[in-house]
Structure 1
Amino acid sequence: MLQQSHKVFSAIVSIIFCLGLLAVSWWAILNKQLILDQLTVWQYQPTSEVIGLIDRSGMDGYGKFLFLASQPLLAKSTDEIKVFNSVCSDVERTTSILGCYSNYQIYVYNVTDAQLDGVRETTAAHETLHAAYMRMGASEKNEVNILLEAEAKKLENSTEFKQRMAYYDRNEPGQRDNELHSVIGTEIANISPELEAHYKKYFSDRQKVVDLNAKYISVFQMLNAKASELSAQLVSLSNSIKNSSNQYNTDVQNLNNEITSFNSRANSGNFTSQAQFNAQRAALADRVAALSQSRTNINNDITKYEAILAEFNSIASQSKKLNNSLNSNLIAAPSV
């Protein structure tokens, strides 16, 4: 009897073990990516700079986990930049994004210009949200997409936003909501409570990355605004100088003709009195003085124009320098 009970118990244990093994196997199949991600995180050794990107961007929880699972490469050396350019060559990069997510890995270009502080963190978070979107199930994506499109509708009056999304529609068809998930998550401060709750899975403080994005974008915005202001001044001043110069040349020609006529009349004694002569001579002298002042005013405007042009060129140079610092194809020349 004991032997029979033992056999029954053993059979039950075997069944339970098999069921447990089956459950574990089924769970492993359903969570294959999570297991691979966890193994990658355990093996990946982040540098202090990579950890800094996490801390400054406000990423935490699942966001931090996915960032590390994506084995982020901060492209700094010539060889790393070559890899970056090769992998990210067909990926959209704008003034707010300088990286890509490809083959389960995140690539971030190492922008070092102090004026663009925040671009690396924004890029890191942006690409992490691509990794997150890729791992969502169909049901979750549908729910999130509805929230994303609602936020996008609020931004439809933004020319910059519309142009940017139009680019994605043309060059990355089918990826609109994927891009919205990253753009809104890293750049838009005020969103619906439901969508904010979604992003809490990835950030302990999403406002950190939004502020960093706004900080470095504002550098370009200020330069562009100043350039537009100076350009308008140059156009206005150029037109004024042109019109004043044309009028000045016409007035000089007319005055020269009248002075020639005056001298001819004076030489032929064609004035009825000395008083008439003096009066007309004084009138001509006043016009000469007025023209001299006009010439001075025009020269002053030209000097002002040249100063504004120099400032405009300086702004353009700054913009070019900043844009070059975002261009990973401009690898520094080797030292000798």
Structure 2
Amino acid sequence: MSRSTGKRIAQGVAVVLAVAIAAGGVVAYSYRSDIRDHFVAASFDPSKRIEQIREEIQLSSSGNRVFLASQPTIGGKKEFNRWCAAVDHTEEGHVLGCFAERRIRLFEVTDKRLNGVAETTAAHELLHATWVRLSQDDRATLSRELIAEYDKLSASDEEFAQRMSVYESLSEPAFANELHSVLGTEVRDLPPELEEHYAQWFTDRSVIVNWYDGYHTVFTELKAEADRLAAELEALRVDIEERSANYDTAVEQFNADAADFKERNERYEFSGDKPLFDSIRGQLLDRQEGLEAVRREIQADSDRFNDLREQLMKLNDVSLELNDILDSTIPEPLSEVESA
């Protein structure tokens, strides 16, 4: 009897052990991505610049693991275009990073006026890396939350809607992927469920948004100042043209009246009426002085118009310069001119 009982106990242990081994296999399979990331991250040696970026964007332990497992690199135009050759550069806007072949690639921007570009881009691409690690069900749930927030923001924020228009040709899943990165790095206030999601990767997401706002403000302020100058120039142009037309008419009338006075005087019409002569002459001199004052005012406003136009041109030059700095594309070589 005891032998039989002992046998049954032994069989039970074997079954429990088999279940434990099977459960261990399921856990290992479920976390295979984390396990892979752990070993890739541990063996990756980031450059000093990448290490600096990693510290600046304040990653959680999970975010840090995925970032390093994505083996991030940063370089100039030549390297970046080689790394991200498959990225479509024809879209409106600048391509500053890519997540290709499970690796994060960044375009280096060294101009101090654009501090934060590399940091924001690194966080943006990290979120692409985290997206591919989500299960299909998790992506579906998150997509609904992201699209709901997008619909709300785009209805009230024209600039945000314009920002996302560069992705309008993408499929809905691909659009949700991009939206996941944009909202997480560029929008300060998000619903609690999205904040909870992003907290998996960042210890303080506001730091990322601060980086984005820092360099984005450079462009918004440039545009605001350019718009202000353009509006002032247009109003001043209309005013100068109207006043100039009135001045020209007044000058024409003055010249006619002065010529008439001269002819009358040459005909001795005022020989017996000096007070009338002095009165008309005085009126003409006052009008002449008034016209000269108007001319000086118009000239001063014309000079101001030219100064404002010069300021606008300088702002345009700065904008072009900054956009050129952010342009990661390599210009196509000029084709040779065929001989006749």
Q: TM-score when scaled to structure 2?
A: 0.86
Alignment-derived partner of residue 48 in structure 1: 48
Q: CA deviation at 1:144?
A: 2.0
Q: Which amino acid aligns with 1:263?
A: K
Q: CA deviation at 1:171?
A: 4.1
Alignment-derived partner of residue 119 in structure 2: 121
> Is 1:236 the equivalent of 2:228?
no
Q: Which amino acid aligns with 2:69?
A: A
Alignment-derived partner of residue 290 in structure 1: 290
* Count of matched residue positions in the alignment of Structure 1 and Structure 2: 326
Does the residue aligned with 1:253 lie in a helix, a strand or coil?
helix
Contact 1:37–1:66 under 8 Å retained in 2: yes
Tell me how far apart the structure 1 counterparts of residues 21 and 33 of structure 2 sit (CA, whole Å): 19
> Is 1:112 the equivalent of 2:100?
no
Q: 1:135 to 1:166 in 2, by over 3 A?
A: same
Tell me how far apart the structure 1 counterparts of residues 214 and 100 of structure 2 sit (CA, whole Å): 27
Q: 1:274 to 1:90 in 2, by over 3 A?
A: closer
Does the residue aligned with 2:60 lie in a helix, a strand or coil?
coil
Question: Within 5 A, what are the aligned runs for 1:38-187?
Answer: 38-76=38-76, 79-84=78-83, 86-90=85-89, 94=93, 98-155=96-153, 156-171=155-170, 173-187=172-186
Alignment-derived partner of residue 306 in structure 2: 306
Alignment-derived partner of residue 334 in structure 1: none
Q: CA deviation at 1:86?
A: 1.9
Contact 2:93–2:166 under 8 Å retained in 1: no
Structure 1: gaps spanning 5 or more residues: 1-6, 332-336
Does the residue aligned with 1:270 lie in a helix, a strand or coil?
coil
Contact 1:85–1:328 under 8 Å retained in 2: no
> Is 1:197 the equivalent of 2:196?
yes
Q: Which amino acid aligns with 2:319?
A: S
Q: CA deviation at 1:8?
A: 10
Deviates more, 1:212-221 or 1:78-87: 78-87
Q: Which amino acid aligns with 1:73?
A: T
Tell me how far apart the structure 2 counterparts of residues 294 and 217 of structure 1 sit (CA, whole Å): 44
Q: CA deviation at 1:161?
A: 1.3
Q: CA deviation at 1:279?
A: 0.5
Alignment-derived partner of residue 337 in structure 2: none
Deviation per CA, 1:231-282: give whole Å up to 9, x if none: 1111111111111211111111111111111111111122361111110111
Report the RMSD for the aligned CA atoms in angstroms: 2.8
Q: 1:179 to 1:285 in 2, by over 3 A?
A: same
Tell me how far apart the structure 2 counterparts of residues 47 and 9 of structure 1 sit (CA, whole Å): 58
